[in-house]
Amino acid sequence: MSFIDIHDLSVTYKGKNRTSPALAGISLSIERGETCIVTGPSGCGKSTLLKVLADILQDYRGEVLIDGTAPDAHRHNTALIQQSYGLLPWKTVKQNIALGASIKDIGWDNALYERTMSALAIADIGHKYPGELSGGQRQRAAIARAVMQKPCMLLMDEPFSALDAMTSANSRKLIYHMLKDRQTNDMTTVMVTHNIDEAVYMGNRIVVLAGSPGRLFRTFSNSFAGCDDDSPERRELISHITATIKHSADEETLQTAL
Ligand code: ADP
């Protein structure tokens, strides 16, 4: 049995007057300690998949098992980094981070706090309130809060998208090395991104969803995780995945046009 086992997962959002199918027939297994990247065109259900794993969305069809049981954020010690960051505006960055750790019953690790804040280039904002920060600083504070929870399952929805190129590269390096260190502690990660260079840096496996509702279109295994050299092989994989996503989007457009 894998750490995450998804079998024939379908999700339909139900509104007052209409329903919106978001995912259809997704089957996917993710091993303990693996970093699985989910990518694909906008609207193909990537965030919906994360919400199911995070136990935010319970209305689905099919079977989703995490370590043998249905998603349960507390039991599975899940940390979710959402695009909206989810920081409490009336608490400072440090208080937000400490609260995240205390909710999970994780003792305060000041050395990890200082290391994380300085790797994310936000060592000087611990005393500030979220309203005083730029979008990029808020996103990094949310990453720091997740890191300090020492999660077993880390779910990230476009965690680096608001960062400038340099900070994004530093942040993904920090998270990659943290995941690698923690692999002995069996942390499993699912990350959504549109950035294929980032996907190839971070993931052992890259899953492409496509269509509306989203289906599993292709899966790539990746031997270039953690490596940011510019080898022709790495570039070829990036172009191949990019072309696959474009092809999936073209196919979808064609099907709706017919
Ligand atoms: P992605 O993350 O790939 O952009 P989402 O999972 O956000 O895709 O959305 C998948 C589909 O579900 C889209 O068609 C979107 O409009 C729809 N959707 C997402 N959230 C809701 C919601 N709360 N209510 C209704 N429809 C939704």
pLDDT in tens, the chain (258 residues): 899 999 999 999 998 889 999 999 999 999 999 999 999 999 999 999 999 999 999 999 999 999 999 999 888 889 998 877 889 999 999 999 999 888 878 889 899 899 889 878 899 999 999 999 988 889 889 989 988 888 889 999 998 888 888 888 888 887 888 777 765 567 899 999 999 999 999 999 999 999 999 999 999 999 999 988 889 999 999 999 999 998 887 766 666 655
What ligand 1 atom has the least distance to the C-alpha of 157? Answer: 2
Q: Which of 12, 19, 20, 51 to mutate to test the pocket of ligand 1 (most atoms within 8 A of CB)?
A: 20
Q: Give me ligand 1 centre to Cα 43, in Å.
A: 6
The predicted model scores a pTM of 0.90
Q: Give me ligand 1 centre to Cα 212, in Å.
A: 9
What CATH code is assigned to 4-77+195-257? 3.40.50
Residue bearing the CA closest to ligand 1, atom 1: 43
Measure the CA angle with vertex 242, ends 250 and 38; round to 5°: 95
Check pocket membership of 42 for ligand 1, CB cut-off 6 A.
yes
Q: Do residues 49 and 58 lie in contact, with contact meaning Cβ atoms separated by under 8 Å?
A: no
